[in-house]
Structure 1
Amino acid sequence: MTIESPHRLWLLLGVAALLLAYLRMQRRRSRYAVRFTNLRLLDRVAPHRPAWRRHVPAGLFLAMLALLVVGFSRPAADVEVPRERATVMIAVDVSTSMLADDVDPDRLTAAKDAAVKFAGKLPDEFNVGLVAFAGSAAVIVPPGTDRAALRAGIRRLAEGSTGVQGTAIGEAIDTSLGAIKQLDPQANADPPPARIVLLSDGANTSGRDPEAAGEEAVAAKVPVHTIAFGTPTGSVDRGGRAIRVPVDGETLHAVAEQTSGGYHEAASSAELRAVYEDIGTSVGYQTKRMDISARFIGLGLLLALGAAMGSMVWFSRLP
């Protein structure tokens, strides 16, 4: 925490002066009571002395003044807040190789579950969209804040849902960038802060060159975080014959490096969830210096109410 107007803290000397004056008055009162020699008569005149309770309203009042002075001095702190208009596009590979069961129960199902959890942990203010890609790419859910629609879109993902076989990483990036540009009417003139999170298990085999798509992402200042999901021993069953589909992250690594994103490898559902959580911390918030004087003023007002209530209950008057 920092103080934007530290010179105003000099007012705390006034609070300290009031405290010293109060202590001095209490000391004078105790001396006067001792000079009252007829203690039996004093007990009859004031049999129920408030003892410590008479100091509570005064203590709360002085604490209130101190908090108000601190609030008046404009305290500020670094606070993590969701990025305004922030957009995250999740691009999921739905090619045939994603049916490999080297990840329980299979790569695609595990990827869908992890994507749902990742989206659920992003701030509600974030716009999140979904792209499915195999030999081509398509926007399944345009970026927005409707998490129910996003979850439904992720659940609908199925192998071959784009209708074209292959793995088009470049097309997935290009389609995601297009969805970001259509976020709102000012997206072209004032692009929102955005990220693309792309999950695949193989190298690019069709569509646009990933390097060319990466150059567009660099120009748009949109980092691409890539996840190579699967193991080297993966295989799919086709007509009773096992076809090997080992994970290949070379292209994904190159794209992430080109766009200043992060490259990750995940060989299990647990590792994939951990990767998503790591990505979420990097795109979720930005640190801003914010005025927090309201916290001190609010607490000071609560202490003022406490002082007033204590004085009314114990002494039938306001302090």
Structure 2
Amino acid sequence: MSLSGFASPLWFLLLLAVAALLAGYLVVQRRRRRNTLRFTNLALLERVAPQRQGWPRHVPTTLLLVGLVGLTVALAGPTDDVKVPRNRATVILTIDVSLSMESTDVAPTRLEAAQQAAKDFANGLTPGINLGLVAFSGTAAVLVSPTTDRAPVRRAIDSLQLAERTATGEAIFTSLQAIDTLAALVPSGEGPPPARIVLLSDGKQTVPEKTDDPRGSFTAAARAKEKGVPISTISFGTTYGTVGIDGQQIPVPVDDASMGRIADISGGDAYRASSLEQLNQVYDTLKEQIGFETTRGDASRPWLLLGTLASLLSAAGALVLTQRLP
């Protein structure tokens, strides 16, 4: 047991008093036994001495000592890691609406599955988080500025429409701009809230062609890193997805590599999902990561309960066995 896990470890000095009580009890019991053996008229002793109760007579004292130990630990202020909901955070949900999201490799389509999972994600976020929505294809647009009201986000998700091309870099830059806009509204004394981008896409960037272009996805990810905004990427779809364009089935395999690279550059995490069930699992993981933070909290309640209950049981046992309190 590390003393660093206690708020006031000096209270453990009271355990010396508990140890002294135990030693005193053992001495008294030993002296009582010695005095009894000195009584030479054993026949008379059986008639005048109360009947020995054996080991049960030690139970009240044992419970009392256990209770004192429990109360001492509680006074020392034990702490433990606890998860508490975040009161200040900004999340931008950034969804790819390029034509490849019409693929049916994820039923009913990639886009419809993404819409369903995104609404569940929005509904499950802790209330204090500001959630915004960005949609992107050949361009990117903020559909909902970060807000704690989930209704406009759900409505915007339902209204997502497909369009040509994929400008992943523009999506990241637009998400960062939405984060900066909200941060500018926060009073200067409080500082900007922590932020994160959740980027869902299925295909490679097509606008511009190079990912390290000034408006490319890798450049945007590096900018997010500079701002301290990690990007959690979700590459959604399968390697065998296709879409029908001008009567032809065009392959639209998911691009795990570039999505993973974006996450790595920004300091975020990369996830893969090839079904609605897997996508929901990813969002559940993100809700835990984003919606809660781990802090050191008070953990004295179990010890306080132990000390109180053990002390009460000690008093009750003493009344039953010896007709007096310990």
Distance 1:33 1:151 in 2: 83
1:142 matched to which residue of 2? 146
2:16 is equivalent to residue 17 of structure 1: no
Runs of 4 or more above 6 Å deviation: none
1:97 matched to which residue of 2? 100
1:296-315 mapped onto 2 (5 Å cutoff): 296-311=303-318
CA positional deviation for 1:201: 1.4
The residue type paired with residue 226 of structure 2 is A
Distance 1:26 1:281 in 2: 56
Distance 2:85 2:206 in 1: 37
Distance 1:117 1:311 in 2: 57
The residue type paired with residue 168 of structure 2 is I
1:3 matched to which residue of 2? 3
CA positional deviation for 1:222: 0.3
1:70 matched to which residue of 2? 73
Distance 1:29 1:120 in 2: 70
Distance 1:276 1:288 in 2: 22
Q: SS state of the match for residue 199, structure 1?
A: strand
Q: What is the aligned length? A: 311
The residue type paired with residue 37 of structure 1 is A
Comparing 61-70 and 129-138, the one that deviates more: 129-138
1:180 matched to which residue of 2? 179
Q: Provide closer, same or farther for how the CA distance between residues 142 and 310 of structure 1 changes in structure 2, counting only shifts above 3 A.
A: farther
CA positional deviation for 1:174: 3.4
CA positional deviation for 1:68: 2.8
Distance 1:253 1:27 in 2: 72
1:1-319 mapped onto 2 (5 Å cutoff): 1-4=1-4, 8-30=11-33, 35=39, 37-38=43-44, 41=47, 52-116=55-119, 118=121, 126-134=129-137, 135-140=139-144, 142-144=146-148, 149=151, 152-153=154-155, 156-160=158-162, 165-181=164-180, 182=182, 185-186=185-186, 190-205=191-206, 209-211=216-218, 213-237=220-244, 241-249=248-256, 251-276=258-283, 279=286, 283=290, 285-311=292-318, 318-319=325-326
Q: SS state of the match for residue 114, structure 2?
A: helix
CA positional deviation for 1:236: 2.4
Q: SS state of the match for residue 296, structure 1?
A: helix
TM-score (norm 2): 0.73
Deviations 1:279-305 (A, max 9, x none): 556545554444544543443233333
CA positional deviation for 1:97: 1.9
Aligned-residue RMSD, C-alpha: 3.9
Q: SS state of the match for residue 37, structure 1?
A: helix
Q: Provide closer, same or farther for how the CA distance between residues 124 and 53 of structure 1 changes in structure 2, counting only shifts above 3 A.
A: farther
The residue type paired with residue 16 of structure 1 is A
Distance 2:35 2:316 in 1: 29
TM-score (norm 1): 0.75
- Unaligned stretches of 5+ in structure 1? none
Distance 1:313 1:121 in 2: 54
CA positional deviation for 1:84: 4.8
Aligned-residue sequence identity (percent) comes to 42
Asked if the contact 2:79–2:297 (Cα under 8 Å) also holds between the matched residues in 1, the reply is yes
Distance 1:314 1:141 in 2: 71
